[in-house]
């Protein structure tokens, strides 16, 4: 960590993260037309006005007017009953940046009352990567006590005594989730994966989910890049993107993580930053420049990296020309648009193009592919009932396609889909789209004539 | 404030989970989609799940003289859903079941909380549609749109909500439940109660079930756009299309201010020197007929000196619609407050009304754009203003007064589709006269003698 990054107070100006009144302009844009009701997943599940975006804006207005207190438990509760999925923003005629309103409210709450002790405890570990890393490894080692392995070996579900106490937050006996890996991705691969005749070098920002929960997916992503003659840098010093703490109002930690990640990636000297997670990519494209807007040193750096960050699918199909895969994959695949990938990074066509380029693969759209799956990071833990109502609808839409595989571009969605597909009795395998491409490339080697 | 015992009784009869009293919950029901209206929080929000529950709530409210504010999705544009005198907001968001789809009789029976688009999605597999299409189809409820008699873009050819409500179940202010109308096309039994309750804005009874009329979905359509150098040319084109005996499904107009603002907002290549734009869509069941109608329309547009664009594919159709779709968002982006009116004039006075709106904007130094449904004379003069600028707001109020005065002078009406609610109550006498107001009061007092149903809306009761 550089000396500068150690001091979060060093920033000279303020942003909406530091000053609640800065979002007044966003609040003013809201006409209360209610278009957000058509797409808000929380409203769709709960069917009451306090669940929907425009009512949260009305409450924010009441807070700014001094009619409601920010730390009133009801205000607090309503504020956190939001997935920050940005669906409302895609349907808003006046383009209210509701994500900023929500982040500003949560940050203001933390400024007023401090982080609740539980969050403080969790997030303070994120500030110290080694401690966090140890915790995740420890979790991987101990998970066998609380969780039993499912038949396919990749999924686990809570064992009986833990399922009883965990039921309230969704850790009942039915829950499936990915196993924590004893060896995280960044420990499995070299910091630089070279390839003969490389045409470009890129940095891969793994994020925590690919590092700890889905290291195979991360490895597939690296494999696909090298198959396209791209040298991949995976610096071990990179940390969490900061979105999980930012959405809980911990602006200081989010800024510290942003600065540290910028330094780490900048040191690689790469031209592009590649992500395989909509939330991580969205952080680099939008949150970092906004968080650091008033920082004379890191602000311009963040803006620069925002332009050079792209999802792996965008990189493969828009920056370089994807080497067409020839390995046949006989599968029927549907695709779920991750909210942050589509609504924040505006990536929707690229993963579909990649899937449709795979020989043998039948692509089938589900109804409302960009409807939120209900994950929202920790939302699924804090609001399990609403999250599963949302997730069940998604799983039913998946089931109706009769696909055998559901792909997506975000590890958090993969976790939620895994759990909900299982709950409705679906048999779909849940995978990142990049893994299907990697599989096709691997088949080429096994069967050179495949697909021709 | 209500007594705690009332809340307790509500919880007993509706279930604790269907009664909201938290201050945050109450703020969430303190508004609707109308700009420049006071907000008011109710005392309690109840989400009934059956007509019987509604009856019990009405009995309780009547005994205790508590106001009831029925509410669908709260998307109306005349302040109709704001709980002005506190009391109970009765939100129908949970009564959202489609009870019956009957393709043989071309009807659907729905609970009031069914969203219009959800009904259309459910009847689409039968090749049917429910035509009324207010701008809020994706969110507005059947109950709310029936109570407001909402219109939409297809009014000229397909009519408005009142033309599609065949029967109802209504809970009266007495707590009694009545049913009338039904699946028969013909029904002249007793008064035409459906047409009394449609558009009654929740002031006469509470709709708990609706029988809606469906029609076969048109199989063919053609979309065209005409851009005109003068307002008169556009007005003559509208008249010419009707004179050519074509009734388009959609016949929309945008004025110069709206065209420029949309172009600045969406960059879709609209000519910013144009004075008016018409978006025209013809549809029908026979390809020949639709083609002949489209050709007739194109001839009229050319004859009036219009620059014609036509859509051959769905994608091109979508492009033509982009201008209209962006009209309100583009205008709204100009300032923090959007005063959206719906003064309506006979079709033949459209041009006069558009010119009058421009003059009124100039007179009061306001930013105003007009777009709307030229085919049915229903215009949306839209004023963009700053709610924190008291001087500007008072000029807005004067301009709105003058817009309505002008519409009435042209033989038009105060509201084509948004309703009276709180926003236009003060103008009601100008259109109806004293005997008309008395008739309103007579009906209101007969059906709701204690004035517990949506009090403070639509009917200007004499304060006592």
Same-domain pairing of A416 and A442: yes
Tokens 């029609």 map to which residue?
Answer: B215
Q: How far apart are the CA of A351 and the nearest CA of chain B, in angstroms? A: 22
Determine whether the interchain pair B73/A34 forms a contact, defined as Cβ–Cβ distance below 8 Å.
Answer: yes
CA gap A46, A161 in Å, rounded: 30
- pLDDT value at residue A140: 52
User: Which secondary structure element, helix H or strand E, spans residue A308, and what is its range?
Assistant: helix A298-308
B222: pLDDT strictly greater than 60: yes
CATH number of the domain encompassing residue A397:
3.40.50.1860
The reply to whether B200 touches chain A by the CB within 8 Å rule is no
Same-domain pairing of A86 and A145: no
Q: How far apart are the CA of B363 and the nearest CA of chain A, in angstroms? A: 26
> Is residue A298 a part of any domain in this protein?
yes
> Is residue B462 a part of any domain in this protein?
no
Instruction: Indicate the pairing of strand B337-340 with strand A332-336.
Output: unpaired
* Boundary-marking domain end, from B276, B302, B325: B325
Same-domain pairing of B174 and B243: no
The reply to whether B96 touches chain A by the CB within 8 Å rule is yes
Determine contact, residues B354/B347, Cβ cutoff 8 Å.
no
Tokens 């589509």 map to which residue?
Answer: A342
B234: pLDDT strictly greater than 90: yes
From the list B22, B139, B332, the residue facing A31 with the nearest CB is B332
Cβ-Cβ contacts under 8 Å for A47 (sequence gap 6 or more) = B47, B93, B94, B96
Using a CB-CB cut-off of 8 Å, the residues of chain B touching A50 are 20, 22, 24-25, 28
> Is residue A451 a part of any domain in this protein?
no
> Is residue A5 a part of any domain in this protein?
no
Q: How far apart are the CA of A70 and the nearest CA of chain B, in angstroms? A: 11
Same-domain pairing of A224 and A305: yes
Q: Say which range, A64-68, A378-382, B234-238, B308-312, has the weakest mean pLDDT.
A: A378-382
Same-domain pairing of B18 and B73: yes
**Per-residue tokens: A36:** 């957000």
Domain extent at residue A45: 10-113
Interface probe with A: pick from B17, B78, B133, B139, most Cβ of A within 10 Å: B139
> Is residue B277 a part of any domain in this protein?
yes
* Boundary-marking domain end, from A264, A285, A319: A319
* pTM recorded for the entire structure: 0.90
Looking at the structure of chain A, the number of domains it has is 4
Same-domain pairing of B80 and B126: no
Share of chain B above pLDDT 90, in %: 92
Same-domain pairing of A376 and A397: yes
Dihedral of the CA atoms B75, B80, B85, B87 (nearest 10)? -60
From the list A48, A72, A95, the residue facing B93 with the nearest CB is A48
CATH number of the domain encompassing residue A95:
1.10.1060.10
Same-domain pairing of B115 and B39: no
CA A20-A21-A24 angle, to 5 degrees, is 115
From the list A50, A67, A94, the residue facing B28 with the nearest CB is A50
The reply to whether B26 touches chain A by the CB within 8 Å rule is no
Same-domain pairing of B108 and B207: yes
Same-domain pairing of A16 and A71: yes
Determine whether the interchain pair A68/B24 forms a contact, defined as Cβ–Cβ distance below 8 Å.
Answer: yes
CATH number of the domain encompassing residue B399:
3.30.70.2740
Share of chain B above pLDDT 70, in %: 100
* Boundary-marking domain end, from B156, B187, B216: B216
Same-domain pairing of A212 and A315: yes
> Is residue B122 a part of any domain in this protein?
yes
* Boundary-marking domain end, from B72, B91, B110: B91
> Is residue B23 a part of any domain in this protein?
yes
Same-domain pairing of B201 and B232: no
Domain extent at residue B72: 4-91
- pLDDT value at residue A425: 86
* Boundary-marking domain end, from A84, A113, A142: A113
The reply to whether B422 touches chain A by the CB within 8 Å rule is no
> Is residue A372 a part of any domain in this protein?
yes
> Is residue B205 a part of any domain in this protein?
yes
CATH number of the domain encompassing residue B124:
3.30.465.10
Same-domain pairing of A146 and A102: no
Determine whether the interchain pair A48/B20 forms a contact, defined as Cβ–Cβ distance below 8 Å.
Answer: yes
Same-domain pairing of B241 and B293: yes
The reply to whether B133 touches chain A by the CB within 8 Å rule is no
> Is residue A368 a part of any domain in this protein?
yes
> Is residue B417 a part of any domain in this protein?
no
> Is residue A80 a part of any domain in this protein?
yes
Interface probe with B: pick from A30, A32, A79, most Cβ of B within 10 Å: A32
Interface probe with A: pick from B17, B24, B124, most Cβ of A within 10 Å: B24
Determine whether the interchain pair B29/A59 forms a contact, defined as Cβ–Cβ distance below 8 Å.
Answer: no
ipTM of this complex prediction, to 2 decimal places: 0.93
Same-domain pairing of A206 and A304: yes
From the list B28, B94, B138, the residue facing A58 with the nearest CB is B28
Determine whether the interchain pair B136/A49 forms a contact, defined as Cβ–Cβ distance below 8 Å.
Answer: no
Interface probe with B: pick from A26, A28, A34, most Cβ of B within 10 Å: A34
Angle, in degrees to the nearest 10, between helices A251-266 and A298-308: 70
> Is residue B278 a part of any domain in this protein?
yes
Looking at the structure of chain B, the number of domains it has is 4
Q: What is the pLDDT along chain A (452 residues), one digit of tens a residue?
A: 343 444 444 555 788 999 999 999 999 999 999 999 999 999 999 999 999 999 999 999 999 999 999 888 888 888 889 999 999 999 999 999 999 999 999 999 888 888 775 565 445 544 555 555 555 554 554 454 444 554 444 455 544 434 444 444 455 666 676 777 668 999 999 999 999 999 999 999 999 999 999 999 999 999 999 999 999 999 999 999 999 889 888 899 999 999 999 999 999 999 999 999 999 999 999 999 999 999 999 999 999 999 999 999 999 999 999 999 999 999 999 999 999 999 999 999 999 999 999 999 999 999 999 999 998 877 877 788 899 999 999 999 999 999 999 999 999 999 999 989 988 888 899 999 999 999 999 999 887 665 44
> Is residue A4 a part of any domain in this protein?
no
Same-domain pairing of A246 and A286: yes
The reply to whether B338 touches chain A by the CB within 8 Å rule is yes
Determine contact, residues B87/B97, Cβ cutoff 8 Å.
no
> Is residue A133 a part of any domain in this protein?
yes
Q: Identify the burial level of A88 via C-beta atoms within 10 angstroms of its C-beta, where 0-12 means exposed, 13-18 middle and 19 or more buried.
A: buried
Q: How far apart are the CA of A77 and the nearest CA of chain B, in angstroms? A: 10
Q: How far apart are the CA of A85 and the nearest CA of chain B, in angstroms? A: 19
CATH number of the domain encompassing residue B280:
3.30.70.2190
Q: How far apart are the CA of B320 and the nearest CA of chain A, in angstroms? A: 18
Chain B residue whose CA is closest to A46: B94
The reply to whether B121 touches chain A by the CB within 8 Å rule is no
Same-domain pairing of A123 and A107: no
Same-domain pairing of A350 and A404: yes
* Boundary-marking domain end, from A113, A139, A160: A113
Hey, is B225 helix, strand or coil? strand
> Is residue B444 a part of any domain in this protein?
no
């Amino acid at each position: 960590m550089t000396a500068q990054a150690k001091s979060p107070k060093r920033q000279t100006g303020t942003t909406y993260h530091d000053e609640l009144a800065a979002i007044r302009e966003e609040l003013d844009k809201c006409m209360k037309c209610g278009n957000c009701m058509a797409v808000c997943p929380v409203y769709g599940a709960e069917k009451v006005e306090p669940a929907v975006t425009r009512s949260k804006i009305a409450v924010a207005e009441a807070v700014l007017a001094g009619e409601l207190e920010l730390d009133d438990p009801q205000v607090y509760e309503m504020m956190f009953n939001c997935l920050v999925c940005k669906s409302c923003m895609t349907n808003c005629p006046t383009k209210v940046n509701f994500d900023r309103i929500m982040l500003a409210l949560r940050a203001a709450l933390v400024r007023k009352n401090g982080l609740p002790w539980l969050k403080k405890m969790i997030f303070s570990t994120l500030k110290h990567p080694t401690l966090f890393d140890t915790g995740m490894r420890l979790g991987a080692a101990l998970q066998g006590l609380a969780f039993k392995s499912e038949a396919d070996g990749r999924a686990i579900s809570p064992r009986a005594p833990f399922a009883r106490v965990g039921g309230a937050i969704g850790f009942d006996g039915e829950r499936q989730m990915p196993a924590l890996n004893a060896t995280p991705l960044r420990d499995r691969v070299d910091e630089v994966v070279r390839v003969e005749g490389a045409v470009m070098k890129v940095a891969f920002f793994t994020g925590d989910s690919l590092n700890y929960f889905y290291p195979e997916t991360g490895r597939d992503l690296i494999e696909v890049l090298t198959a396209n003659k791209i040298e991949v840098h995976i610096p071990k010093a990179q940390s969490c993107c900061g979105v999980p703490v930012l959405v809980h109002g911990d602006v200081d930690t989010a800024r510290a993580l942003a600065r540290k990640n910028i330094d780490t990636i900048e040191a690689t000297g790469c031209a592009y930053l590649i992500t395989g997670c909509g939330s991580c990519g969205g952080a680099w494209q939008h949150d970092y420049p906004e968080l650091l807007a008033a920082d004379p040193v890191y602000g311009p750096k963040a803006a620069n990296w925002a332009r050079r960050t792209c999802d792996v699918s965008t990189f493969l199909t828009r920056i370089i020309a994807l080497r067409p895969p020839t390995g046949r994959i006989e599968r029927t695949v549907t695709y779920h648009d991750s909210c942050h990938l589509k609504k924040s990074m505006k990536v929707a066509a690229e993963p579909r193009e990649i899937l449709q380029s795979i020989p043998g693969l039948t692509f089938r759209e589900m109804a409302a592919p960009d409807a939120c799956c209900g994950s929202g990071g920790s939302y699924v833990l804090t609001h399990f009932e609403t999250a599963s109502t949302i997730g069940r609808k998604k799983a039913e839409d998946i089931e109706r396609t009769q696909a055998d595989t559901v792909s997506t571009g975000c590890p958090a969605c993969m976790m939620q889909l895994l759990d909900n597909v299982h709950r409705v009795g679906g048999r779909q395998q849940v995978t990142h789209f990049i893994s299907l491409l990697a599989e096709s490339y691997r088949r080429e080697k096994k069967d050179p004539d495949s697909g021709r | 404030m209500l007594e705690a015992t009332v809340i307790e009784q509500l919880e007993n009869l509706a279930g604790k989970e269907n009664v909201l009293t938290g201050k945050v919950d109450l703020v969430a029901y303190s508004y609707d989609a109308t700009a420049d209206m006071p907000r008011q929080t109710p005392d309690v929000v109840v989400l009934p799940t059956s007509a019987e529950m509604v009856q019990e709530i009405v009995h309780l409210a009547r005994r205790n003289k508590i106001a009831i504010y029925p509410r669908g999705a709260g998307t109306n544009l005349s302040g109709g859903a704001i709980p002005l005198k506190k009391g109970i907001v009765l939100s129908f968001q949970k009564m959202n079941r489609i009870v019956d789809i009957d393709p043989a009789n071309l009807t659907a029976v729905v609970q009031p909380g069914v969203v219009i688009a959800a009904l259309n999605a459910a009847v689409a597999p039968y090749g049917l549609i429910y035509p009324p299409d207010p701008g809020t189809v994706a969110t507005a409820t059947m109950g709310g749109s029936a109570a407001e008699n909402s219109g939409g873009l297809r009014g000229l050819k397909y009519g408005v909500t009142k033309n599609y409500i065949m029967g109802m179940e209504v809970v009266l202010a007495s707590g009694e439940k009545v049913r009338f109308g039904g699946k028969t096309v013909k029904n002249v039994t007793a008064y035409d109660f459906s047409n009394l309750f449609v558009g009654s804005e929740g002031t006469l009874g509470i709709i708990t079930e609706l029988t809606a009329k469906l029609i076969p979905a048109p199989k063919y359509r053609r979309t065209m756009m005409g851009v005109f150098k003068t307002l008169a040319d556009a007005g003559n084109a509208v008249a010419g299309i009707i004179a050519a005996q074509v009734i388009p499904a959609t016949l929309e107009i945008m004025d110069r201010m709206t065209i420029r603002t949309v172009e600045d907002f969406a960059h879709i290549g609209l000519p910013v020197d144009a004075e008016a734009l018409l978006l025209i869509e013809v549809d029908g069941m026979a390809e020949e007929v639709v083609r002949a109608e489209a050709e007739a329309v194109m001839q009229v547009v050319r004859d009036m000196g219009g620059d014609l664009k036509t859509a051959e594919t769905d994608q091109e159709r979508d492009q033509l619609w982009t201008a209209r779709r962006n009209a309100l968002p583009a205008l709204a982006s100009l300032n923090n407050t959007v005063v959206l009116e719906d003064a309506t004039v006979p079709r033949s006075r459209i041009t006069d009304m558009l010119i009058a709106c421009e003059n009124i904007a100039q007179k009061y130094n306001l930013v105003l754009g007009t777009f709307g449904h030229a085919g049915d004379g229903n215009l949306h003069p839209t004023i963009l203003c700053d709610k924190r600028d008291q001087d500007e707001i008072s000029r807005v109020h004067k301009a709105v007064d003058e817009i309505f005065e002008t519409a009435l002078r042209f033989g038009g009406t105060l509201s084509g589709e948004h309703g009276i609610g709180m926003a236009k109550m003060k103008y009601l006498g100008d259109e109806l006269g004293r005997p008309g107001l008395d008739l309103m009061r007579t009906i209101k007092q007969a059906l709701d003698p204690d004035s517990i149903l949506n009090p403070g809306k639509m009917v200007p009761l004499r304060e006592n």
